[in-house]
Amino acid sequence: MTYIQKHTNISDVSIQHLDSELLINGWIRNTRIQSSLAFVEIYDGSTSKSIQAISEDSVMNDKIKTLSIGSSISIKALVVKHPKEGVELKIKEILYIGKINDPVSYILNAKKMGLDILR
C-alpha cells in the first residue's frame, strides 16, 4: 500500500502554482480582520515560513473570527500573486477547523515565552 499525499506543503507553494487550487493543512499563527477582508497566517511545519491566506467572504470571515493562535485548519484555496512579493492564498472553502477551547490559557500564544515553559 502506498501513501498518496492529498494536501500541499507550504514549503512547496510557489509562483508556479499561480491560479491553481490547493488543499492546505496547518495551524494558525495569526489572524486579523480589516473591514470585509480577513487575513490568516498559516504554518504546517514543512518550513519555518508561513503563508498568508485571505478571504473576502463575510460568512467565512465569521468563521475566521472564532479562531485563535494554534487552531488547526484545512482549506481549499486559490494561489494568487501577492501585491508586493511572492504568492498568497485566496480561501475558497474551509474544510476543517480544530479550535482551541481556552485560548487564554493555551500555552502557545502570541507572547514570547522561555524554553522552560515549552519544555
Q: Which domain holds residue 67?
A: 10-101
> Residue 109: what pLDDT?
56
Is the pLDDT at 4 greater than 80? The verdict is no
- 46 falls within a domain: yes
**Domain holding 74: CATH number?**
2.40.50.140
Give the chain's domain count: 1
- 111 falls within a domain: no
Q: What Å distances lie between residue 56 and 72, 87, 94, CA to CA?
A: 20, 17, 13
The grid cell for 22 is 490547493
- 90 falls within a domain: yes
User: Can you tell me which residue has the cell 480577513?
Assistant: 38
Is the pLDDT at 76 greater than 80? The verdict is yes
Q: Are 47 and 11 in contact (CB under 8 A)?
A: yes
d(CA 90, CA 15) in angstroms, rounded, equals: 14
d(CA 117, CA 111) in angstroms, rounded, equals: 12
Is the pLDDT at 95 greater than 80? The verdict is yes
pLDDT in tens, 25-45: 999 999 999 988 999 999 998
> In terms of C-beta density within 10 A (0-12 exposed, 13-18 middle, 19 or more buried), how is residue 103 classed?
middle
